A and B are shown apart, each in its own frame.
Chain A
Amino acid sequence: MLTLADLRYGEGAFSLSANLALAPGRRVAIIGPSGAGKSTLLDLIAGFRLPERGRLSWRGEDITRAAPDRRPVAMLFQENNLFPHLTLARNLGLALRPDGRRLGASEAAAVEEALERVGLAGLGGRRPGALSGGQQSRAALARVLLQKRPVIALDEPFAALGPALKVEMLELVRTVAAELGALVLLVSHDPQDAQRFAEEVVLVAEGVAHPPVETATLFNDPPEALRRYLGS
Chain B
Amino acid sequence: MAAALTSLRWRSALPAALAATAVALLTLAPVAAVLLRAGGWGQLGAGDWQALRFTLLQAVLSGALSVALAVPVARALARRRFPGRGVLVALMGAPFILPVIVAVLGLIAVFGQNGLVNAVLRGLGLPGMTIYGMHGVVMAHVFFNLPLAVRLLLQGWLSIPAERFRLAASLGLNPWATFRVLEAPMLLRIAPGAFAVIFVICLSSFAVALTLGGGPRATTVELAIYQAVRFDFDLGRAALLSVIQLGLALAAGLVALRLGAGTGFGAGLDRVQQRWDGQGALARICDGLWVALAAAFLLTPLLLVVLRGLPGLLLLGPSTWQAAGHSVSVALASTALCIAWALPLSTRGGELVGLAGIALSPLVLGTGLFLIVRPYANPLTLALPVTALVNALVSLPFALRILRPEAETIRADYARLSQALGLTPLAWLRLVLLPRLRRPLGFAAGLAAALSMGDLGVVVLFADPDRATLPLQVYGLMGSYRMEAAAGAALLLLVLSFGAFWLFDRGGRVNADAG
List residues of A whose CB falls within 8 A of some B CB. Answer: 11, 43, 46-50, 67-70, 73-75, 77, 80-81, 83-86, 90, 94-95, 98-100, 127-130
Known: A48-B4, A99-B426. 5 other contacts (CB 8 A): A50-B3, A69-B419, A94-B423, A98-B424, A128-B515
Enumerate chain B residues within 8 angstroms of A128, measured Cβ to Cβ.
Answer: 515
7 example contacts (A-B, Cβ-Cβ < 8 A) are as follows: A11-B2, A68-B422, A69-B420, A75-B416, A83-B432, A86-B431, A98-B421
Q: Assess whether B3 is in contact with A77, with CB atoms less than 8 Å apart.
A: no
CB contact between A77 and one of B417, B431, B515 (< 8 Å): that residue: B417
Q: Report how far A98 CA is from B431 CA in the complex, Å.
A: 10
Of chain B, the residue at the smallest CB distance from A46 is: B420
CB contact between A74 and one of B420, B432, B435, B436 (< 8 Å): that residue: B420
Q: Assess whether A50 is in contact with B416, with CB atoms less than 8 Å apart.
A: no
Q: Assess whether B426 is in contact with A100, with CB atoms less than 8 Å apart.
A: yes
B275 → chain A closest CB, angstroms: 39
Enumerate chain A residues within 8 angstroms of B427, measured Cβ to Cβ.
Answer: 94, 98-100
- Determine which residue in B420, B421, B422 has the highest number of CB atoms from chain A within 10 A of its CB, and name it: B420
Q: How large is the interface on B (under 10, 10 to 19, 20 to 34, 35 or more residues)?
A: 20 to 34
Q: Report how far A80 CA is from B415 CA in the complex, Å.
A: 10
Q: Assess whether A81 is in contact with B417, with CB atoms less than 8 Å apart.
A: yes
Enumerate chain B residues within 8 angstroms of A77, measured Cβ to Cβ.
Answer: 416-417
Q: Assess whether B4 is in contact with A80, with CB atoms less than 8 Å apart.
A: no
Given A43-B4, A94-B421, A98-B427, A48-B515 contact (CB < 8 Å): no
Of chain B, the residue at the smallest CB distance from A65 is: B6
Q: Assess whether B431 is in contact with A127, with CB atoms less than 8 Å apart.
A: no
Instruction: Tell me the chain B residues, 404-435 only, with Cβ under 8 Å from chain A.
Output: 413-414, 416-417, 419-424, 426-427, 430-432, 435
Q: Does residue B174 face the partner (Cβ distance < 8 Å to A)?
A: no
Q: With contacts defined as CB atoms under 8 Å apart, how many contacts are there between chain A and chain B in the complex? A: 80
Q: Assess whether A127 is in contact with B421, with CB atoms less than 8 Å apart.
A: no
Of chain B, the residue at the smallest CB distance from A82 is: B417
B413 → chain A closest CB, angstroms: 5
Q: Report how far A202 CA is from B416 CA in the complex, Å.
A: 24
Given A127-B514, A129-B515, A48-B423 contact (CB < 8 Å): no
Q: Assess whether A49 is in contact with B420, with CB atoms less than 8 Å apart.
A: no
Q: Report how far A130 CA is from B426 CA in the complex, Å.
A: 27
Enumerate chain B residues within 8 angstroms of A50, measured Cβ to Cβ.
Answer: 3-4, 6
Of chain A, the residue at the smallest CB distance from B438 is: A85
CB contact between A100 and one of B1, B430, B436, B515 (< 8 Å): that residue: B430
Of chain A, the residue at the smallest CB distance from B425 is: A99
Q: Assess whether B3 is in contact with A85, with CB atoms less than 8 Å apart.
A: no
CB contact between A80 and one of B6, B413, B419, B421 (< 8 Å): that residue: B413
Enumerate chain A residues within 8 angstroms of B2, measured Cβ to Cβ.
Answer: 11
Q: Report how far A50 CA is from B6 CA in the complex, Å.
A: 9
Enumerate chain A residues within 8 angstroms of B514, measured Cβ to Cβ.
Answer: 84-85, 127, 129
Instruction: Tell me the chain B residues, 1-50 only, with Cβ under 8 Å from chain A.
Output: 1-7
Q: Report how far A68 CA is from B423 CA in the complex, Å.
A: 11
3 smallest CB-CB distances across A and B, nearest first, come from A129-B515, A69-B422, A100-B427
Q: Report how far A69 CA is from B424 CA in the complex, Å.
A: 11
Of chain A, the residue at the smallest CB distance from B514 is: A85
Q: Report how far A129 CA is from B7 CA in the complex, Å.
A: 29
Q: Report how far A204 CA is from B430 CA in the complex, Å.
A: 40
A85 → chain B closest CB, angstroms: 3
Q: Report how far A84 CA is from B417 CA in the complex, Å.
A: 12
Given A67-B422, A98-B424, A83-B515 contact (CB < 8 Å): no
Q: Assess whether A68 is in contact with B420, with CB atoms less than 8 Å apart.
A: yes
Q: Assess whether A70 is in contact with B6, with CB atoms less than 8 Å apart.
A: no
B384 → chain A closest CB, angstroms: 36
Q: Assess whether A83 is in contact with B431, with CB atoms less than 8 Å apart.
A: yes
Enumerate chain B residues within 8 angstroms of A85, measured Cβ to Cβ.
Answer: 435-436, 514-515
Q: Assess whether A48 is in contact with B419, with CB atoms less than 8 Å apart.
A: yes
Q: Report how far A99 CA is from B424 CA in the complex, Å.
A: 5
Enumerate chain A residues within 8 angstroms of B417, measured Cβ to Cβ.
Answer: 77, 80-81, 83
A56 → chain B closest CB, angstroms: 14
Enumerate chain B residues within 8 angstroms of A81, measured Cβ to Cβ.
Answer: 417
Q: Assess whether B422 is in contact with A83, with CB atoms less than 8 Å apart.
A: no
Q: Assess whether A49 is in contact with B421, with CB atoms less than 8 Å apart.
A: no
Q: Report how far A80 CA is from B421 CA in the complex, Å.
A: 13
Q: Report how far A67 CA is from B421 CA in the complex, Å.
A: 11
A185 → chain B closest CB, angstroms: 14
Enumerate chain A residues within 8 angstroms of B432, measured Cβ to Cβ.
Answer: 83
Enumerate chain B residues within 8 angstroms of A70, measured Cβ to Cβ.
Answer: 422
B76 → chain A closest CB, angstroms: 41
Q: Report how far A62 CA is from B312 CA in the complex, Å.
A: 76
Enumerate chain B residues within 8 angstroms of A49, measured Cβ to Cβ.
Answer: 1, 3-4
Enumerate chain A residues within 8 angstroms of B7, measured Cβ to Cβ.
Answer: 67-68
B265 → chain A closest CB, angstroms: 23
Enumerate chain B residues within 8 angstroms of A80, measured Cβ to Cβ.
Answer: 413-414, 416-417
Q: Report how far A136 CA is from B432 CA in the complex, Å.
A: 18
Of chain B, the residue at the smallest CB distance from A140 is: B417
Enumerate chain A residues within 8 angstroms of B414, measured Cβ to Cβ.
Answer: 80, 83
Q: Assess whether B515 is in contact with A84, with CB atoms less than 8 Å apart.
A: yes
Q: Assess whether B422 is in contact with A98, with CB atoms less than 8 Å apart.
A: yes
Of chain B, the residue at the smallest CB distance from A147 is: B421
A53 → chain B closest CB, angstroms: 13
B13 → chain A closest CB, angstroms: 15
Q: Assess whether A127 is in contact with B515, with CB atoms less than 8 Å apart.
A: yes
Q: Report how far A73 CA is from B420 CA in the complex, Å.
A: 8
Enumerate chain A residues within 8 angstroms of B436, measured Cβ to Cβ.
Answer: 83, 85
